[in-house]
Amino acid sequence: MLVKRKGITVSRQIMDDQLLHPGATGELTGLLNDLVVAGKIISAEVNMAGLADILGQSGRTNIQGENVQKLDVFANQTIKRRMEQCGHVCVMASEEDDDIIPVLEGYEGNYTIAFDPLDGSTNIDVNVSIGTIFSIHRRLSPSPGQGNVGDLLQKGGKQVAAGYIIYGSSTVMVYTTGSGVHGFTLDPSVGEFFLSHPNIKIPDASLYYSVNEAYANHWFDSTRRFIDHLKTTDGGKGAYSLRYIGSLVADFHRNLIKGGIFLYPRDKKSGEKSEGKLRLLYEAAPLAMIAEQAGGRAITDDGRRILDIEPTKLHQRVPLIIGSKRDVDLAEKFLRGEM
Ligand code: FDP
């Protein structure tokens, strides 16, 4: 295993990951490198977002020569354009599109990508951290040629890579190819991501919980008792604090670095038979792979491991409990009625 030094570039790290797989063809490396480019383009646009209203549509064009458009539409288009002609993807799915997205003819590769182009959409216009989440699988259908929906409907445990790019006070890319989790910070002055968080391990236990407490009246009893427990641990002395940004990627990133547990469970309003709000393919599965690679856990509110869930449709939703291992273990006990 190579010793990781802060400061190496993300491209170097992606190549090092490839060296861990002797039979690798370089396709995944090429795909990830193109995703990095997409992240840089989106980051530049996010940084200009506040100026869009001032500059308006009058003459300000983006890198593709188009007028400024809504950020989520821009992010979606940017990723699709990079991926459809990178030569390593056979089919895509985006949280923003109803159906599968084909790639350009002649450019079909051996991987699939599912992505949420800009997670945390309600925070876009107010300078709060948002992010791109991605999930990559190897195709199942025979190569060459276009992939199909079956290539995308694979369980999270089969992901070959997953990650996110968070556009916050700085732009940070966190990803895993199954050999640990690394974080890179974009230096905008040179346009390069440098290793800033080598081999991330999520603290085992924490003092933070993240949940939309406005829904407390609708929570099932098990959720309410768990959150009450966190608030009163040690008679209140060692009690947890609430941190809820409302952008999953930002809440997850904070918990990954500082430790914490994030919950988006089913409740009485959505119903026991519902699946919560968050999407399995674009949100829960990729973040679950990162959480587990970093030593954490990700389960549903009835104790199923997120990475074991076989998707049946592209936009499938799933209740999500994710974060520090001991916190998720504890939540599981409450949800199973053991506490
Ligand atoms: P948003 O609706 O702003 O796009 O899945 C989308 C998401 O944000 C997550 O990023 C976030 O964690 C969650 O929904 C917030 O939902 P609530 O407003 O119901 O808390």
Alpha-carbon distance of 279 to 273, in angstroms, equals 16
Contact 149, 100 (CB under 8 A): yes
Question: Which pLDDT score, from 0 to 100, does residue 239 have?
Answer: 85
Residue to mutate, 223, 244, 247, 275, ligand 1, most ligand atoms under 8 Å from C-beta: 247
Please name the amino acid found at residue 322. I
Alpha-carbon distance of 271 to 288, in angstroms, equals 24
Tokens of 42: 């989106």
Question: Which pLDDT score, from 0 to 100, does residue 26 have?
Answer: 87
Catalogue the long-range contacts made by 82-85 (C-beta closer than 8 Å, 24 or more residues apart).
82/34, 82/35, 82/37, 82/38, 82/41, 83/31, 83/34, 83/35, 83/38, 83/113
Q: Which atom of ligand 1 is nearest to the CA of 279?
A: 5
Which amino acids bring their CB within 6 angstroms of ligand 1?
A: 119-123, 212, 246-248, 277-278, 283
Q: Which residues are paired to 16 by β-bridges?
A: none
DSSP 24: -
Give per-residue pLDDT as tens, 201-214.
999 988 899 999 99
DSSP three-state, residue 145: coil
Alpha-carbon distance of 38 to 81, in angstroms, equals 9
Tokens of 139: 């195709």
- Residue position matching structure tokens 């216009």: 125
The residue whose C-alpha atom lies closest to atom 7 belonging to ligand 1 is: 120
Q: Rounded to whole angstroms, what are the CA distances from 251 to 131, 166, 168, 261, 326? A: 11, 11, 12, 9, 18
Q: Is the pTM of this model over 0.85?
A: yes
Q: Identify the segments of the chain with pLDDT beneath 50.
A: 54-60, 62-64, 66
Query: How remote is the CA of residue 179 from the centroid of ligand 1, in Å?
Result: 29
Query: What values do phi and psi take at 323, rounded to 5?
Result: 150, -145
Alpha-carbon distance of 68 to 75, in angstroms, equals 12
Question: Which pLDDT score, from 0 to 100, does residue 216 have?
Answer: 97
DSSP 103: P
Alpha-carbon distance of 320 to 133, in angstroms, equals 16
The residue whose C-alpha atom lies closest to atom 1 belonging to ligand 1 is: 120
Alpha-carbon distance of 253 to 93, in angstroms, equals 23
Question: Which pLDDT score, from 0 to 100, does residue 199 have?
Answer: 94
Question: Which pLDDT score, from 0 to 100, does residue 328 have?
Answer: 97
Closest CA to 325 of 291, 300, 301: 291
Dihedral Cα 238, 290, 296, 242, nearest 10 deg: 20
